[in-house]
Amino acid sequence: MAASALRGWMSWQGLRERVAAQRDRSFGLPVQDSVRLGGARPVRLADFDHALVLVVLALVAFGLVMVYSASVALPDNPKFARYSATYFLSRHLLAIGIGLVCALVVVQLPIAFWERHAGHVFLLALLLLVIVLLPFVGKVVNYSRRWIPLGIMNFQPSELAKLAIALYAADYMVRKMDVKENFFQAVWPMVVAVAVVGVLLLRQPDMGAFIVIATIAMGILFLGGVNGRMFLLIATVLVATFAIIIAFDDLRRERILAYLDPWNPKYVQGKAYQLTHSLIAIGRGEIFGQGLGASVEKLHYLPEAHTDFLLAVIGEELGFVGVASVIVLFFWLTRRIFMIGRQAIALDRVFAGLMVQGIGLWIGAQAFINMGVNLGVLPTKGLTLPLMSYGGSAILMNLVALAIVLRVDRETRALMRGGKA
C-alpha cells in the first residue's frame, strides 16, 4: 500500500512539472540553463529594449537631417569655401557608421569586462587628456586644444572621459560601499580624481565637459548612498570652485554678464552674439516653424549652427513642435536609462546599475545644458546636443555608452528569466 501511495505521489509530481513546463512555454520563458551571460552562448537577440533602440535611432536620424540642413549653406562662407555642400553631412554619416559598428561590438561584451577594466579605462582617459595638451599633438580650434587628429576623424578625449568617470565612479562606490559613511575614506579619493580631470579639462579649456563630468561623479556618489551631509559639502566645494574660476577668469566672467543681459549693446555684438541670434531663430519659428531648410539664421548669422546651436535651427525650421519633440524624446530616454539602472541594482548588480545611471546623468545633463544654452536659460558652455549635433567623438562615445546600457538591460532580462550570470 505504501508503494502504491509513493507511485501515486510521483505521478502527481510529474503531472505538476509537465503543467509548469507547459505554462513557461506558453509565456515564452526560457529554461534556466538556456541563457548564460558569461558563457559560450550569447543572450538572445530578442531580449533587449526595442523602444530604447528606436528612440536612439530616431534621435540620430533626426540629427542627421538637421545637421545637413544647418550646414548646407556653410560653403558660401569664405572660411568653408573649399568644402562641398555635403561635406559635414558625409562626415557626420561616417561618424554614425563608425559609432554603430563600435556599439554592435560593445554590446557583445559582458558587463563583468567593464567592471574589471574600469580603472584602466579611466587611466587611458587621463593619458589622452594629457596627450591632447601637447603642442605637436592636440589640434587647436577656436582657441581650444581639445582634439587629437586620427585621419578619418578628430577624437576628443573629454568624450571618453565622460564614460570613464561613469565606469570608475561606479566601480569605486562598489569597492568603498562599506566605508561610505566616512568622508575621507569614501569621498576624498574620488574628489581628487575628479579634480585631476578638471585641471586637465580647464587647460584645454573645456568648462562644459568638466561640469558634465562633475555632475556624473556627484550623481553616482549620491545614488551610491553617500551621506547627505557629505554630498552637500562636496556640492558646496564645487560651487565655490566654479565661483573662483569665474571671478579670476575674464573670459568666463564676460560670458556670464553677457548671458544675464544679452541685448546690452556692449555684449550683443560680442559675447552674447551667439545667444541673441539663437533667440532670434527660436522666436522666428513660433509654433510650427518656417519649414525644413528655411532657416535664415543658419546663413552665417548664427555661429556653430550645426554643432552647439543645432536646437536653435530646429526651433526656427520646425518651431515649438520640433523643439518639444526633441525634449520629450530626451526625457523619455533619460528616464528609461535610469529605470534600467534601478532594475540592475534591484538584482544586486550594483556596479551595472550605478554605471547605467551615470550614463543617464551624462545624456540627460548634457542635453539639458545644451537646450538651456540655446533657449537663453544657461550661459554658453560649448556642449553639443547628444546623438544629434555634428561631432564624431560625441556621436561615437554616445552610441558606445548606450550600447553598454543595452547590454545591462539584456543581462538583467536574462537574470529575471532564470539565466545564470
Q: Where are the domains of the chain?
A: 51-414
Among residues 246, 214, 218, 215, which one has the least CA distance to residue 231?
Answer: 218
Taking the CA atoms of 311, 313, 317 and 320 in sequence, report the sign of the dihedral they define: positive
Q: Which amino acid is at 51?
A: A
Among residues 223, 237, 230, which one has the least CA distance to residue 182?
Answer: 230
Distances (CA, A) of 46 to 43, 182, 405, 410, 414: 8, 44, 16, 9, 11
Q: Give the whole-angstrom CA distance, residue 145 versus residue 209.
A: 13
pLDDT computed for residue 150 by the predictor: 87
Residue that has been written with the C-alpha cell 565637459 in this structure: 209
Q: Report which secondary-structure segment, H or E, holds 169.
A: helix 157-175
Q: Where are the beta strands (DSSP E) in 150-214?
A: 154-155
Among residues 312, 332, 334, which one has the least CA distance to residue 323?
Answer: 312
Q: Could you check whether the bond before residue 205 is cis, i.e. omega within 30 degrees of 0?
A: yes
pLDDT computed for residue 253 by the predictor: 74
Contacts of 328 (CB under 8 A, 6+ apart): none
Among residues 158, 362, 374, which one has the least CA distance to residue 282?
Answer: 374
Among residues 354, 319, 324, which one has the least CA distance to residue 340?
Answer: 354
- Report the Cα–Cα distance between both ends of the chain, in Å, rounded: 46
pLDDT tens per residue, the chain (421 residues)?
444 544 544 444 454 454 344 444 433 333 333 344 444 444 454 577 899 999 999 999 999 999 999 999 888 877 777 888 899 999 999 999 999 999 999 999 999 999 999 999 999 999 999 999 998 888 888 778 888 988 888 899 999 999 999 999 999 888 876 655 566 666 777 888 888 898 899 888 888 899 899 999 989 988 887 767 767 777 777 777 777 777 777 777 777 777 888 888 888 888 888 899 999 999 999 999 999 999 999 988 888 899 999 999 999 999 999 999 999 999 999 999 999 999 999 999 999 999 999 999 999 999 999 999 999 888 888 789 999 999 889 999 999 999 999 999 999 998 888 765 5
Torsion of CA 98, 101, 106, 107, to 10 degrees: 140
Q: Give the whole-angstrom CA distance, residue 149 versus residue 27.
A: 52
Find the farthest-apart pair of alpha carbons in the chain and give their distance in angstroms, rounded: 104
pLDDT computed for residue 311 by the predictor: 95
**Long-range pairs for 200-204 at CB < 8 Å and ≥24 separation?**
200/126, 200/129, 200/130, 200/133, 201/129, 201/158, 201/161, 202/245, 203/133, 204/132, 204/133, 204/144, 204/145, 204/146, 204/158
Q: Give the whole-angstrom CA distance, residue 110 versus residue 254.
A: 47
Judged on CB neighbours under 10 Å (0-12, 13-18, 19+), 244 is: exposed
Residue 265: beta bridge partners? Answer: none
